[in-house]
Amino acid sequence: MPEKTADKVETTVATDPAPGAAATEAAPASAKARSLWSDAWNDLRRNPLFLVSAVLILLLLVLAAAPGLFTSASPRDADLAKHFLQPPNWGNFFAADWLGYDGQGRSIYARVVYGARASIMVGIGVTLLVAVLGTAVGMIAGYFGGWLDSVLSRVTDVFMGIPYLLGALVVLTTFEERSVWVVMLAMAFLGWTQIARVARGSVITIKQADYVVAAKALGASTTRILMKHILPNALAPIIVVSTIALGGYIAAEATLSFLGVGLAEPTVSWGVDVSTGRQQLRNAPYVLVIPSVMVSVTVLSFLMFGDAVRNALDPKLR
């Protein structure tokens, strides 16, 4: 009997794993891999600055995508005899006369709602074009180096030496019809330099990493190395710069339209309304102030969003 009991105890000890070993084996299975993006998201969702700016941006995007949800009035319907500079009716929220009428008898509220589409479209469109062009130039210059880097860097310096608003003004004056696409292309033509510089610096650092050297040693093509290894690791600073610059592009479009070289009638835009509202600054300042406030809120929202993303993606600032 005692021998059988001892054999049974030995069998139990042999088959049951040690508690420490079980915990050690279970830890890797339950642990989740952490990355820069997951850490950034954990930081962003607890950041009030990001949450407020994200809600405002979402509202503006819905306003631009579906203006009919917010008003049934037309931004181009004008009744000069009946609505000439009619003041706002603050008690009638979200009605056509809520924010008053401009000097042509058009609903300011309807024009503010429909004007979001052109202004935000220009900002997002220019940002995408600039990000693609600047990233491509920066990656080519930083990865290949040599004379190609020197040529592209000097071209970038030449474009950086041109004042942005002055250059866009000169370019846009050469076009008789200034549509949304014309304004976007003119602004993107001069605005890619900063992202190119950021991308070039990131690529120069990343191409010296061990995984890039290993990919080259294994015979990976240049396109695969750039797309699979370098670009994903260089995206963080590019996204930060692009997000912060987006608000600046919206402000630049409003400035160009105010100067009379950006978007023009019949396009409905906040910049166009600011330009026409300056004529009524003394008699009806709300015609100028209301679209100006919309531009300011939009630019501020994207700037706050960009600052929050920058703080989340930079480990030194977290």
Total of domains in the chain: 1
Single out the residue of 62, 125, 98, 65 nearest to residue 263, CA to CA.
Answer: 125
Would 20 be classed as within a structural domain?
A: no
Would 126 be classed as within a structural domain?
A: yes
Angle between helices 48-65 and 108-144 (to 10 degrees): 110
pTM exceeds 0.85, yes or no: no
Give Cα 184 to chain centroid, integer Å: 15
- The CATH number given to whatever domain includes residue 51 is 1.10.3720.10
Spatial separation of the C-alpha atoms in residues 216 and 161, rounded to whole Å: 37
Would 113 be classed as within a structural domain?
A: yes
Would 86 be classed as within a structural domain?
A: no
Per-residue pLDDT of the chain (318 residues; tens, 9 = 90+): 444 444 443 444 344 444 444 444 444 444 455 666 777 788 888 888 889 999 999 999 999 999 888 888 888 888 887 888 888 888 777 777 788 888 888 889 999 999 999 889 999 999 999 999 999 999 999 999 889 999 999 999 999 988 888 899 888 888 888 888 999 999 999 999 999 999 999 999 898 888 888 988 888 888 899 888 898 888 888 988 998 899 889 999 888 988 888 888 888 889 888 888 888 888 888 888 999 999 999 999 999 998 888 888 766 655
Q: How far is CA 181 from CA 128, 184, 189, 262, 267, in A?
A: 13, 5, 12, 11, 12
Would 277 be classed as within a structural domain?
A: yes
| Residue range(s) defining the domain that contains residue 266 | 37-78+98-313
Contact predicate 241/195, CB 8 Å? yes
Would 90 be classed as within a structural domain?
A: no
Q: How far is CA 203 from CA 184, 210, 218, 238, 244, in A?
A: 27, 14, 20, 11, 21
Q: What is the DSSP letter of 279?
A: G
Would 24 be classed as within a structural domain?
A: no
Would 136 be classed as within a structural domain?
A: yes
